[in-house]
Amino acid sequence: MSASAVPATARWRPAIAARRRRGRTFLWLCYAATAFGILSLAVLLGDVLVKGAPGLSWDFVTGFPSRLASRSGVLAALVGTFYVALIVVAVAFPVGIGTAVWLEEYARPGALRRILQTNIGNLAGVPSIIYGMLGLAVFVRALALQRSLIAGGLTIAILVLPVVIISSQEALRAVPVSLRHASLALGATRWETLRHHVLPAAAPGILTGTILALSRAVGEAAPIILISSIAFIAFLPDGLLDQFTILPIQIFIWTSKPQEEFHAIAASAIVVLLALLLTLNAAAIVLRDRARRSARW
């Protein structure tokens, strides 16, 4: 009956070997998951490179689309993509970061902030085609911007806005409260505290989040399908109200053609798009590291 009747060692079953085995099993599952991701990416990349590399040339990058696959180029789409990205940076970043600062630093907790927060979270999960419809209704039709560069840029800006807001909020929230207190206790105003301490400390996080949002935006085709006229665009946009096309649309057009040659140059265009995305991500890393160095954690 009493526990002391059993020898002390019999009441313990350490089974260390079995516990170690469970740990190793988990580790192997993690390896497998990582390998799965990397392998599928490698296969995709390899496939695109094999198909697209032969079509890559300076003429391809600097040429306009043509009825002949061999004479087609991506210049119009590349420049269009670049301009759309510029509009996104000019619109979504200030608006998104401003919203995040207000929500995190100024808004009093309460119903209003909760409602806004929930809706921003929901908007981040809305399918991008819905944003395309919004852009079509508001920018193209209601504001009569037609199927223009600015209509497309604004649509994409609104598409990435929730992501920019949320990632900026997270970066601001990661700044320790003690830093704000230190500044306020010295007689600094709220704005001075933000300007000199909170924003510089949050900058690396804000930059990383927003530039990743931008590179996602650059790869979006769905909303632009509704906005840009999927027509043949063989010129560069001169102004904000000009027609435009972007790389994902150009790729979409070429892959939906029946001729094999166009499928090959679609792969080449994908390589161009990937190069653009990698450049953007590299820029994000450089900017982040620079911002990190200026704050001496």
Partner 1 sequence: MVTIAAPEAARRAPDEAALTSVFEIEGLSAWYGPAQALADITFDVPKNRVTAIIGPSGCGKSTLIRCLDRMNDLIHGFRVAGAVRYHGDDILAPSTDPVALRRQIGMVFQKPNPFPKSIYDNVAFGPRVNGYTGDLREVVEDALRRAALWDEVKDKLDTSGLALSGGQQQRLCIARALAVEPDVLLMDEPCSALDPIATYRIEELITDLARDYSIVIVTHNMQQASRVSDHTAFLLAGEERTGRLVEFGRTRELFTTPRDQRTEAYITGRFG
Closer to partner 1 at the Cβ: 147 or 197? Answer: 197
CB 84 within 8 A of CB 130: no
Burial class of 80 by CB neighbour count within 10 A (0 to 12, 13 to 18, 19+)? buried
Taking the C-alpha atoms of residue 34 and residue 93, their distance in angstroms, rounded to an integer, is 33
Of all helices (H) and strands (E), which one includes residue 194?
none
Minimum CB separation from partner 1 for residue 196, in Å? 7
Comparison of 135 and 205: residue with beta carbon closer to partner 1 = 205
- Closer residue to partner 1 (CB): 147 or 180: 180
CB of 39 to partner 1, least distance (A): 41
Nearer to partner 1, 140 or 291 (CB): 291
Question: Could you tell me the smallest distance in angstroms from the CB atom of residue 187 to partner 1?
Answer: 3
Residues contacting residue 121 through CB under 8 Å, at least 6 positions apart? 162, 166
Residue among 206, 281, 250 nearest 61 (CA): 250
What is the number of H-type helices and E-type strands within the chain? 12, 0
Q: Which is nearer to partner 1, 32 or 182 (CB)?
A: 182
Distance CA 148, CA 71 (A): 26
Smallest distance from partner 1 to CB 117, Å: 15
Q: Which residues bind partner 1 (CB under 8 A)?
A: 108-109, 176, 178-189, 192, 196-197, 201, 295-297
Closest Cα partner for 61 from 217, 201, 271? 271
CB of 185 to partner 1, least distance (A): 4
* CB hemisphere CA count around 39 (13 angstroms): 6
CB of 42 to partner 1, least distance (A): 39
Nearer to partner 1, 51 or 113 (CB): 113
